[in-house]
Structure 1
Amino acid sequence: MTFVNLGILAHVDAGKTSLTERLLFNAGLIDHVGSVDRGDTTTDSMELERRRGITIQSAVVALHIGDTQVNLIDTPGHSDFAGEVERALRVLDGAVLVISAVEGIQARTRIIMRLLKSLGIPVLLFVNKIDRMGARYEDLLKSINDTLAPGCVPMTEVTDIGTRGARAIPLPLERMTEVLAERSDTFLSAFVDDAVELSDELRYAELARQARAGWVHPVYFGSAITGEGVEHLARGIVDLLPSASAGAADDPPRATIFKIERGRAGEKICYARVHSGTIRARERIPFYRSSLHDGVQELTGRPSAVRVYRDGAGVCDDNAPAGSIAKLWGLAEARIGDQLGSSDDLPGGGLIAPPTLETVISPESHQDRTRLFTALGRLAEQDPLINIHQDKDTGVLRVRLYGEVQMEVIADTLREQFDLAVTFEEARTIYVERPTGVGEALEEINFEGLNFFWATVGLRIEPAPPGTGITFGLDVELGGLPLAFHKAIEETTRETLRRGPHGWEVIDVAVTLFRTGYASPISAAGDFRNATPLVVAKALTMAGTRVHEPVHRLVMEVPEDCVSAVMQVLVPLRAVVEEQETREATIVVLRGRLPASGVVALTRRVPELTRGEGVVVTEFDSYRPYPGTPPVNPRAGANPYDREQYMLHTLGRVP
């Protein structure tokens, strides 16, 4: 069987969930097209999604177009759920990017297209809502080609646009000949050679080749509500997007876990895209995970059950072949992002940056603290970028977030699924530290005097290229120290670097272990775990660090007469507007940079500043040195940057 794993993506409210409903209806899998407003769509299965009218978690449905099974993944449109979108992108063969014919290219549309291009995912564009008043055709095509997808190829034209009778009519294939010739010398030669007759079959084959390579982007117009134009899009999905490579059934298995949920009995269910081989129930399989902080880890598991998508949202017991999407039971230790079977092509980092906001979350009843920690752990399984952390000294629970909508959704979920009422403190910005120089430090066993820790550890710390996280290297012979002691040094080094001299996580740092020693049989792993923080702190203090703040790319769409009021708010937030564009005479698009510390404040002010008509979208861009006196993140418990306090705390001399 041929599979296509397809993502449907869009700026919020462009109509991607409605398009999913229409495709399912046309495939005969549902008897009516569900409505987001009515809350009866197939993919928005959570009660919270139905009530809010937004997609929160990615959902999978399967449908058949001819002999091809399309595994369709509906993704959130709101920027607060960017992590959910990234996980879906990792498993796609192709994508449909939905654009509103009325609102046109919106802020988040550009961000999604940039992500798709960075992964090399072929994209079809579906311009929705041609039946709505204000729908556009010619100028919108020009805008798409100029600012979103150079090389767009219109596949349909529209009659009676902006009315209920709007119709999408296929364009003659000759219309696309010049666009295709611009991107292929071979096709160009055939185009200018009078002796070669360019048939529609040749043109369509060349279109498919270039679309699958991501050189051109076919554009379809239609309406998900009326169904107009959707059949043309369906043909494009199977003809112009690449199918999943199958290989042989006995190839080594490899699959990516992109979603985790809990069943009615609380069991963990993993959603996996199978890239090669076959995943079978009750067969032991290794799985791998990678992070910038901890490197690559290998674990093993045995799926107790394997079920694959066939029609609609239902699954059936079966082996999961290459190209399929399966639900796996029994992998208790699995996490989102883990790769089953092989570490080949295992992503080392995210396309979308981790959240830059953090808040303290507390139960309204103090007796519910343990239950809250357990419930948050369940939510973190579904979205690992939430990053739950409990301070071991104070017991305070901190949650990392993208924005206030996500915070509200977490509160609603805890109340409805776990019967927990919670409160949040004001969100704060998460800063980071980077080393500015090179530092070395050494703690040695004193065989002739007093020893608190029977461990010799020497570490060198220096800057690493941006985006590399933490690298840990050896400048000692591996056999000179028991492996358990080496592991204790590396794990403790990584843990200590979570709090630098100013209290923030240290990133982009290279650590080298240059000296070790132990006293047999006295030394234990605990000696190395206790000594290492002192060495890290001393080396990092010698190297020096500088606090960096996260900066976001900013895109705002505001009414023209509100620009002045918006600018007056942007200035004190330290935003820099780099580009200003007037669209449709009455809408101004502002693009620039904004420190993450101003994101929440700006988001709250936009409705009042723009009469509720403004749109603001932010996306992490980079870290930059913090201007002025750096913020400090207070710490509790043992502080290795204060040697006396650390020794007293570690040796149990303080409460």
Structure 2
Amino acid sequence: MHLLNLGILAHVDAGKTSLTERLLHTTGVIDEIGSVDDGSTRTDTLALERRRGITIKSAVVSFPIDDVTVNLIDTPGHPDFIAEVERVLGVLDGAVLVVSAVEGVQAQTRVLMRTLQRLRIPTLIFVNKIDRRGACYDGVLRAVSRRLTPAIVPMGTADGLATPDARFTPGLVPTALDVLADHDDDLLAAYVEGSGMSHDTVSAALAAQTRQAVAHPVYFGSAITGAGMDALVTGIKELLPPAGGDPDGPVSGTVFKVERGPAGEKVAYARMFSGTLRTRDRIPFGEARREGRVTAISVFGHGTDLREDAVPAGRIARLWGLADIRIGDPIGEPHKAYERFFAPPTLETVVVPGPGADARELHLALARLAEQDPLIDLRHDEVRRETSVSLYGEVQKEVVQATLAEEFGLDVTFRETTTICIERPVGSGAAVEFNKKDPNPFLATVGLRVDPAPTGSGVDFRLEVELGSMPYAFFKAVEDTVRETLGQGLHGWQVTDCTVTMTHCGYSPRQSHAHQGFDKSMSSTGADFRGVTPLVLIEALRRAGTQVYEPMHRFRVEAPADTLGALLPLLAALRAVPHTTETRGAVCILEGAVPAGCVHELEQRLPGLTRGEGELESSFDHYAPITYGTVPERPRTDHNPLNRKGYLLNVTRRVGS
């Protein structure tokens, strides 16, 4: 018996959750198929998911296919929740990408396929809704080949399309050998020579290339009528690779979801890649390598999840007892299944409590939401008593609002959504504050230099002083404070792509009098270094100068060619920069870059300018310097080291003369 951890991915409304229900029914897990419209599906458990008919949080269900246990993970389809999808991809052995036979390849379908290819995840393509009016076979295959990947292998033919009797007949089409021969020299030689190839030979080549993610079998069917389900189930069993991992190896896993149980306890969903994790084991987790004790384990299998004493490699389980666990945390030895890339949230908004909503309860509720999605990135302003959240789009804002109302009983509204910018140093700058020298009231010497670093390198902290010249705790206090302070630069935005070097250090050793204890007023503490570092760093940044950058999305618009004249003025008004314009018959395709803050307006206005036929695909691409108008400022939430006097009054009473 082997395991398979399978993801179902699709553009919203392609029928992904309905397919999950049909698979559970086909394999005998459920007797009656749930309905997305009725809110009775197994995987959309949130009230908001059932009311809106969309998947917001990933969900895990299990079903058997003969001797294979499949853990199926249903993922969100809306682009606002792409981070939820990305977290799941690292625990998958294979995926099914769902395409609608009516709408064809849509914007999010392309984004998902690019990600699956980048991570080399073996993927089957399932064309759903062949029973719906407007369903197409040849046209969808051409679109999949042109817009997703040419390495597709149709696994049969579809007949009776657009009728309730639509059916899928399994059988490799003749063009399949063309694709398979491209990646198999022996198969190519036999193909060119015209020698006969057995069914077993072709099937083996197809399985091997599918598992290598170089070929993608395509199935047609209907999640509603069940057409094509048997063929898809067979493909899942025979073509996708089983879960690997040595159950006797070192314990290693990854947390891809966190939720709260009925009693408010944290429950972590984890995929084990190696070893066996047992109840009552103490295990390190997270980047800080904290230790926690697992108090209970629930393992997915046989159609549900059951309490077990242990979870071995390859399986997915729910874990209790790890109170400080967060999404993305490694369990045991870190496992690098792939290089994670989360496009940063590019929008933010202030959450405004409604009448009767307690601000403390609101902050606690938002902290709970941030546990489930760390990229929400709460930002609390103590001065204005405001909390802001980061977003990927307007739909996510609606979901946060509804979740706060339904799960926490909190009525909230939002301020206008704004763009999250960043700052980068323009040049180099240095500053230093010396111990026991005015105007430094802190018992600490700190000197820092800020230098620009390559784009995408983040923040690097270095030492030009001897590590043994003062206690390590003081160096750690400086580094931690540097990283925290860079969260708000000269204009209030996060500073990145820079190197911060410590050039000076010094401290006052522990002072005590005979028969007396520690004299704090004469001895340096970590608080001294945490207090002076922001002043030094901000002064170094001021001397270096910073440039504010705004997030830019790569966009692709496909629309009727005769609407190009109306589209170009809109793109110009939104400060979009088309890079390429191509006309294919009656269709024009524009690709370029657009400010993230303008994407929502482009989405709203595109249908009206293109008779409802325009399609927009966009995703974060890069940051561009702001060279127009007034540089945007972000309100500070720290003690504002730009204002030295005010900062010192807030941080310490030991204000220098």
Cα shift at 1:613: 5.9
Q: Which of the residues 276, 279, 287 maps onto 1:278?
A: 276
Q: Is the 8 A contact 1:107 1:556 kept in 2?
A: no
In structure 2, what is the Cα distance between the partners aligned to 1:557 and 1:174? 31
Q: Which of the residues 438, 462, 472 maps onto 2:461?
A: 472
Cα shift at 1:441: 2.0
Q: Is the 8 A contact 1:115 1:351 kept in 2?
A: no
Aligned to 2:161: 161
Superposed counterparts of 1:239-638, under 5 Å: 239-247=238-246, 249-289=247-287, 297-345=288-336, 350-365=340-355, 368-446=358-436, 451-521=440-510, 522-556=523-557, 558=559, 564-579=565-580, 590-606=590-606, 608-609=608-609, 615-628=615-628, 629-635=630-636, 638=639
In structure 2, what is the Cα distance between the partners aligned to 1:451 and 1:145? 67
Aligned to 1:646: 647
Measured at CA, do residues 563 and 18 of structure 1 come closer, stay the same or move farther in structure 2, by a change above 3 Å? farther
In structure 2, what is the Cα distance between the partners aligned to 1:442 and 1:187? 69
Measured at CA, do residues 356 and 324 of structure 1 come closer, stay the same or move farther in structure 2, by a change above 3 Å? same
In structure 1, what is the Cα distance between the partners aligned to 2:621 and 2:595? 10
Measured at CA, do residues 153 and 346 of structure 1 come closer, stay the same or move farther in structure 2, by a change above 3 Å? closer
Measured at CA, do residues 155 and 582 of structure 1 come closer, stay the same or move farther in structure 2, by a change above 3 Å? farther
1:293-350 CA distance string (max 9 Å, x none): xxxx2211111101101133443324111111100011100000000001242877x4
* Amino acid in the other structure paired with 1:372: L
In structure 2, what is the Cα distance between the partners aligned to 1:347 and 1:541? 38
Q: With structure 1 as the length reference, what TM-score do the two structures score?
A: 0.93
Partner secondary structure for residue 484 of structure 1: helix
In structure 2, what is the Cα distance between the partners aligned to 1:560 and 1:175? 32
Q: Is the 8 A contact 1:471 1:510 kept in 2?
A: yes
Number of aligned residues: 642
- Which 5+ residue runs of structure 2 have no aligned equivalent? 511-522
* Amino acid in the other structure paired with 2:203: Y
In structure 2, what is the Cα distance between the partners aligned to 1:366 and 1:652? 37
* Amino acid in the other structure paired with 1:283: D
Measured at CA, do residues 636 and 145 of structure 1 come closer, stay the same or move farther in structure 2, by a change above 3 Å? closer
In structure 1, what is the Cα distance between the partners aligned to 2:370 and 2:55? 18
Measured at CA, do residues 239 and 346 of structure 1 come closer, stay the same or move farther in structure 2, by a change above 3 Å? closer
In structure 2, what is the Cα distance between the partners aligned to 1:450 and 1:441? 14
Cα shift at 1:560: 6.1
1:440-465 CA distance string (max 9 Å, x none): 22222247x67511111122222222
In structure 2, what is the Cα distance between the partners aligned to 1:424 and 1:313? 39
1:383-404 CA distance string (max 9 Å, x none): 1111111113322101111111
1:556-582 CA distance string (max 9 Å, x none): 455666554444433211122344567
Cα shift at 1:486: 1.3
Measured at CA, do residues 347 and 525 of structure 1 come closer, stay the same or move farther in structure 2, by a change above 3 Å? farther
Q: Is the 8 A contact 1:173 1:200 kept in 2?
A: no
Measured at CA, do residues 450 and 167 of structure 1 come closer, stay the same or move farther in structure 2, by a change above 3 Å? closer
In structure 2, what is the Cα distance between the partners aligned to 1:439 and 1:226? 67
Aligned to 1:230: 229
Cα shift at 1:175: 4.3
Is 1:65 the counterpart of 2:65? The answer is: yes
Measured at CA, do residues 106 and 584 of structure 1 come closer, stay the same or move farther in structure 2, by a change above 3 Å? farther
* Amino acid in the other structure paired with 2:240: L
Q: Is the 8 A contact 1:288 1:342 kept in 2?
A: no
1:113-150 CA distance string (max 9 Å, x none): 11111111111111111112221222321221122112
Partner secondary structure for residue 286 of structure 2: strand
In structure 1, what is the Cα distance between the partners aligned to 2:424 and 2:253? 35
Q: With structure 2 as the length reference, what TM-score do the two structures score?
A: 0.93
Superposed counterparts of 1:198-237, under 5 Å: 198-237=197-236
In structure 1, what is the Cα distance between the partners aligned to 2:65 and 2:448? 60
In structure 2, what is the Cα distance between the partners aligned to 1:330 and 1:559? 56
Q: Is the 8 A contact 1:168 1:221 kept in 2?
A: yes
Percent identity reads 52
Greater shift in the superposed pair: 250-259 or 433-442: 433-442
